[in-house]
Amino acid sequence: MTTVHEPATAADLLVWPASAAEPVRGDLTVGGVPLAEVAGRFGTPVYVLDEAEVRDRCRTYRDAFPDAEVLYAAKAFLCRAMAHWTAEEGLGLDVCSAGELELAVTTGFPPERIVLHGNAKSPHDLDAALRLGVGRVVIDSPAEIARLAAAVGPDGHQRVMVRVVPGISAGGHEKIRTGTDDQKFGLSIADGHAQYAIARILDQPQLELTGLHCHLGSQITSVKPYLVAVRRMVGLMARLYEQHGLVLPELDLGGGHGIAYRPGEAALDLTALARKVRAELADSCATAGLPLPRLIIEPGRAIAGPAGIALYRVLSVKHTGGHVFVAVDGGMSDNPRPALYGVRYAPRLIGRPGSAERARVTVVGRHCEAGDVLAADVELPADTRPGDLLAVPVAGAYHLSMASGYNLVGRPPVVAVRDGLARLLVRRESLEDIRGRDVGL
C-alpha cells in the first residue's frame, strides 16, 4: 500500500517565511529556492534570508504606524544588504556601535535617519556619530552628557534623546528585561536621575533635546506594558513642561516585539499595538495638555527573525541513557540563544521525506560544552541519520549577530533567496581569516 504524502499545511509552516512551500515531499523551498540546493551550493552551517519576507515585514510596520518613525534595530542582524533593504522600504536605523553605524553609512544609508544608542558608548562611537552626521544620539548616563558636549564643541550641534527607565517589567526572560530599575540601561524616573540628566542637557546649548526614549525588553507579547510606558513617559513630559516650559516633539517606545519561534507560541499583535498605543498617547497627551509627540518604534527581531533559516548537516545520531542526541555541524557558536535564554526551536528534516514514524530527540551542536543544545526534546523522523539536513526556522535575528569564535570553527555565511535565485550576502569565515588575526609569533 502506498502512503500518499500531503503537502505541508499552513499550520506546519506557520513560523516559516510566507514563501515557504513543499512542492515535493521532503523538499522545502523558500523564496522559490530548494533549501537542500542552498546547502549543497554554499555548505553548512548556513543562514538563509528571505528578502521578500524582510521587505514585507518592513512594509507591515510602515502600514501599521503610518505617522510614526520606524527604526530597524540593527543589533538583531545587520549586513550591507539588510541596510539597503530597510532603507529602500522607508525605515530608519537604530545602531549601538561605531561598527554598525559605519557599515550602514558606507552602504549608503542616510545618516540623518540613524539613531545611536547604548549604555556605554566609547569615544570612538561618539566620534563616529559626529563625524558621519548621525541623526540622534540617545543619552544613557550623566557622563555621556559632558563627553558628547565636549566632542561637539561650543559651535557644534547634535540632536539627542534621553533613555528613561519607566519601571516596567516586561520580556520573555530576565536577561532581556530592560525597563526596570535593576539593570544597566537608562536613567530612572523613580529616583530622579532622568530629570537631573535632562536639566543638565538643557544647560548645554550645543545639545538639542528632541525627546524621550525607553525600551522595555525583548520578546514582549502583550500590548499592556507599552500602554503603561506611554502613560509614564507622557507623565514625565508633563512634569518637564511644568518645570522648564519644555515641549518635546518625539517619544521613542523602543521595540521588543515578541515573535513565535514554534507553532502555537504567542506573538505580539502588531495591529492591536498600533491602535491601542495611538489611542493611549492621544488620551494621555490630552489629559496633560500637551501636543502629540511623533512616535518612534524600533523593531528588530520582528523584522529579521522570521525571515531567516539556519541549515545544518547531521554528523551523528547517538543513543545514550534513554536519550537520542542528533549532533549537527554548528551549535552555540552560531546560535547561543538556547544556552543564554533557554529558547526552543522547531527543526525540520529537509532534502528527503524521512519516515512517518517520529522519534523524540535533542539536537545538539559540535562544541565542547554540555550546554551546546540547539533544540531540546523535539520530534524528528525516526530514521534521521548522519548526512541529513536539518532546517531551523526563525533564525534571522540574534544568530549571526551574536555568533562567536568558539573552537575556531568560523562563522557561517548568509545567503539571500528571492524569486528562485540565491546569492551570497556574507561569506563564510575561513581558517585564513582566523589565522590572519593571530599575529603573536
- Residue-wise pLDDT for 267-310, tens only, equals 999 999 999 999 999 999 999 999 999 999 999 999 999 999 99
Q: Which of the listed residues 299, 318, 343 is the one where a domain comes to its end?
A: 299
Given 282, 299, 316, which residue is the final one in a domain? 299
Is the alpha carbon torsion for 220, 224, 227, 233 positive or negative?
A: negative
Q: Locate 6 and state its grid cell.
A: 500531503
* pLDDT tens over the chain, length 441 residues: 233 344 455 567 899 999 999 999 899 999 999 999 999 999 999 999 999 999 999 999 999 999 999 999 999 999 999 999 999 999 999 999 999 999 999 999 999 999 999 888 999 999 999 999 999 999 998 899 999 999 999 899 999 999 998 877 555 445 444 444 555 567 888 788 888 899 999 999 999 999 999 988 888 999 999 999 999 999 999 999 999 999 999 999 999 999 999 999 999 999 999 999 999 999 999 999 999 999 999 999 999 999 999 999 999 999 988 899 999 999 999 999 998 888 889 999 999 999 999 999 999 999 999 899 999 999 999 999 999 999 999 999 999 999 999 999 999 999 999 999 999 999 999 999 999 999 987
- Is 129 found in the same domain as 222? yes
Asked if residue 45 has a cis previous peptide bond (ω within 30° of 0), the answer is yes
In a domain, 12, yes or no: no
Q: 143-179 pLDDT, tens per residue?
A: 999 999 999 998 999 999 999 988 775 554 454 444 4
Is 177 found in the same domain as 283?
yes
Q: Does the CA dihedral 173-178-180-184 come out positive or negative?
A: positive
Residue 104 forms part of a structural domain: yes
Helix, strand, or coil (residue 399)? coil
Q: Both 404 and 363 in a single domain?
A: yes
Instruction: Give the C-alpha separation, 429 to 409, whole Å.
Output: 8
Residue 59 lies in a domain: no
Burial 32-70 (b: 16+ CB within 10 A, else e): bbbbbebbeebebbbbbbbbbbbbbbbebbeebbeebbb
Within a domain: 7? no
Is there a single domain that holds both residue 277 and residue 373? no
Domain match, 102 and 198 both: yes
The pLDDT value recorded for residue 195 is: 87
C-alpha of 341 from chain center: 15
Q: How far apart are CA 330 and CA 257, in angstroms?
A: 27
Active site positions, annotated: 368
Per-residue pLDDT at 38? 98
Query: Do 194 and 122 lie in a common domain?
Result: yes
pTM of the model: 0.93
Residues 11, 12, 18, 23: is their CA dihedral positive or negative?
Answer: negative
| pLDDT for res 124 | 95
Q: 394: domain range?
A: 21-50+306-437
On whether both 38 and 82 belong to a single domain, the answer is no
Q: What is d(CA 93, CA 111) in angstroms, rounded to the nearest whole number?
A: 9
pLDDT value of residue 180:
47
- Examine residue 15 and state whether it is found in any structural domain, yes or no: no
250 is a domain residue: yes
CATH number, residue 356: 2.40.37.10
CATH code at 211? 3.20.20.10
Cell of 79: 549586513
223: region left, alpha or beta (phi > 0 left; psi from -120 to 50 alpha) = alpha
Question: Which grid cell is 215?
Answer: 525600551
Chosen domain end from 299, 324, 354: 299
The CA-atom distances, in angstroms, between 81 and each of 97, 178, 199, 224, 396 are 18, 29, 40, 34, 13
Q: Give φ, ψ of 122 to 5 degrees.
A: -80, 165
Let me know whether 340 and 240 are in one domain.
no
Distance CA 34, CA 25 (A): 12
Residues 40 and 124 in one domain: no
What is the domain count for the chain? 2
Report if residue 3 sits inside a domain: no
- E strand spans, 152-303: 158-165, 187-188, 207-213, 250-252, 294-297
Does residue 361 fall inside a structural domain?
Answer: yes
Q: Phi-psi region for residue 256, left (φ > 0), alpha (ψ -120 to 50) or beta?
A: left
Whether 136 and 238 share a structural domain:
yes
Assess whether 281 and 329 both reside in one domain: no
Q: What is the pLDDT of residue 168?
A: 75
**pLDDT value of residue 189:** 83
Helix (H) or strand (E) holding 110, with range, is none
Q: What is the pLDDT of residue 185?
A: 63
- Are 130 and 199 contained in the same domain? yes
